[in-house]
Chain A
Amino acid sequence: MAYSDKVIDHYENPRNVGSLDKADPHVGTGMVGAPACGDVMKLQIQVNDAGVIEDARFKTYGCGSAIASSSLLTEWIKGKTLEEAAAIKNTEIAEELALPPVKIHCSVLAEDAIKAAIADFRSKSPQHSPVDHEVPQRLSA
């Protein structure tokens, strides 16, 4: 099957490959997929006190599209707030990499990975959990 130039570029020169210290309270780790399904993605984010992703690292076991999806994702999320990163949709990844229909699950996995990494980080640092901006009830005079 033919891969798009962008998939090949990310596959041949993957960005941000590696691991961060899982035990670091500023690091969130997301691991999604299963060996039985042929792809496993590990995504790690390092978040500063302002809730901005300063660094990201990935390792992926899977086809070229899975590797490219996770590599692209690390590029996109660096410098984003947790809220912005959580808003990334798999369709944006699939579109950017021109993934064929049989490879859409690779982009879904990448979206799952960032969501899992954010959830892991927030479980460690609850102060970064999304605040419910409820409108305070006005007391009747």
Chain B
Amino acid sequence: MSSTRPIYLDYAATTPVDERVAEKMFRFMTVGGAFGNPASRSHSFGWEAEQAVEEAREQVAALVGADPREIVWTSGATEANNLAIKGAAHFYQKKGRHIVTVKTEHKAVLDTCRQLEREGFEVTYLDPEPNGLLNLDTLEAALRDDTVLVSVMHVNNEIGVIQDIQAIGHLTRSRGILFHVDAAQSTGKVPLNLAQLPVDLMSFSAHKTYGPKGIGALYVSRKPRVRLEAQMHGGGHERGMRSGTLAPHQIIGMGEAFRIAREEMGAEQERLRMLRDRLWAGLSDMEEVYLNGDPVHRVANHLNISFNFVEGESLIMALKDIAVSSGSACTSASLEPSYVLRALGRDDELAHSSIRFSVGRYTTLEDIDRTIVLVRSAVEKLRALSPLWEMYQDGVDLKTVAWVAH
């Protein structure tokens, strides 16, 4: 391993904890700090931990325009998605057992829906448009009298597109259907105001927004009141919705991270957009390079690019000085390319050739310029090795070739 670390451009996977956050978290762990159990009512150790937890709840609620009493702590967005979808489906199953979601959702939503199918629920998985956005007419056509829940993510983790949750929420609310939104990728990137948004349940994660891993939250609307069946049973914490001793250091970390996001979001997103646009400008003039997902309705820090005729995993191997992720899942035994890009109707070649670049708080202009040089040379090197590129240059239409699939 070289002494210098790769350039980190995978902020959609996770972010480093902001130093201000880490410093504050440390004050809630050791003997000299506020290490108490927030559920302890009989002494000041418990009181001070509880007070800090409630302040953090206010900070999280403030970023998303919610009432602090609508925030339930979880271990992360995966647990929040599980609690929202299973909790609502179980609680309202007498009303109906049909759920609607989208094929490009995170696995934490899709696998939860699969589990409900095993329990006898019916789930409709909608195709998005080729730009990654959900068509409202498609959604409306899928709603039935026994539909109890619609789950659509706000910002897609893989392609960065932003769904119109305002419009979706109006539709579901007019039909008396609950609406859950996975917003793990949204906080600090897109303004959210749950006081106005017709959303009933929303999942959050700390570690995508410069907070610690292992903590997240679920917004559970009070007006209209949404009820959930608990998935974790125990001491009745979080108004019975999620038992388990709270982790003040994690919670304080999430609160502080969301406080910083609220204060710095405007300027930060402007800077990230400049970096992202510079990266795209530096790569998009190459031949056969495609942006995946809608070019306008997308978060400012995110690019998903297909470099046609180059396989994603080998490109990542060539880009060893850059930390990015591939839409290609060639490392799995299935050899299936990204299910998200497939759902957009992208050709298999393009799905296999995709790389996700996501910039963040610590990305510099120099990082971007260096990345452009490295990516261009890697793509050129691999294209020189690629029989598909050779055929393309010779004018062969790859769709007409009789491939020997294996």
Contacts and interface: CB of A to CB of B under 8 A. Distances in A.
Contact of A59 (B331, B337, B386, B398): B386
Given A61-B310, A112-B406, A35 B390 contact: no
A35 B349 contact: yes
Contacts of A63: 311, 313-314, 317, 330
B317 A38 contact: no
B317 A35 contact: no
Interface in A95-133: 101-102, 105, 108-109, 112, 116
Contact of A17 (B385, B403, B404): B385
B406 A14 contact: no
A65 to B, nearest CB: 9
A37 B335 contact: yes
B332 interface: yes
A59 B387 contact: yes
B404 A33 contact: yes
B354 to A, nearest CB: 11
Contacts of B405: 33-34, 36-37
A34 B387 contact: no
Contacts of B332: 102
A67 B385 contact: yes
A128 B406 CA distance: 28
A42 B387 contact: yes
B67 to A, nearest CB: 45
Interface in B377-396: 384-390
A60 B332 CA distance: 20
B328 interface: yes
B348 interface: yes
Nearest to A11: B317
A32 interface: yes
Interface of B: 309-311, 313-314, 317, 328, 330-333, 335, 337, 347-349, 352, 384-390, 398, 403-406
Given A35-B352, A60-B386, 20 more contacts: A3-B317, A14-B385, A31-B404, A33-B404, A34-B404, A35-B347, A35-B349, A35-B388, A36-B405, A37-B335, A38-B311, A40-B388, A59-B386, A60-B385, A61-B385, A61-B387, A64-B314, A64-B317, A67-B385, A102-B333
- Top 7 closest pairs, chain A to chain B, by CB: A34-B403, A36-B348, A42-B387, A63-B313, A59-B387, A35-B349, A34-B405
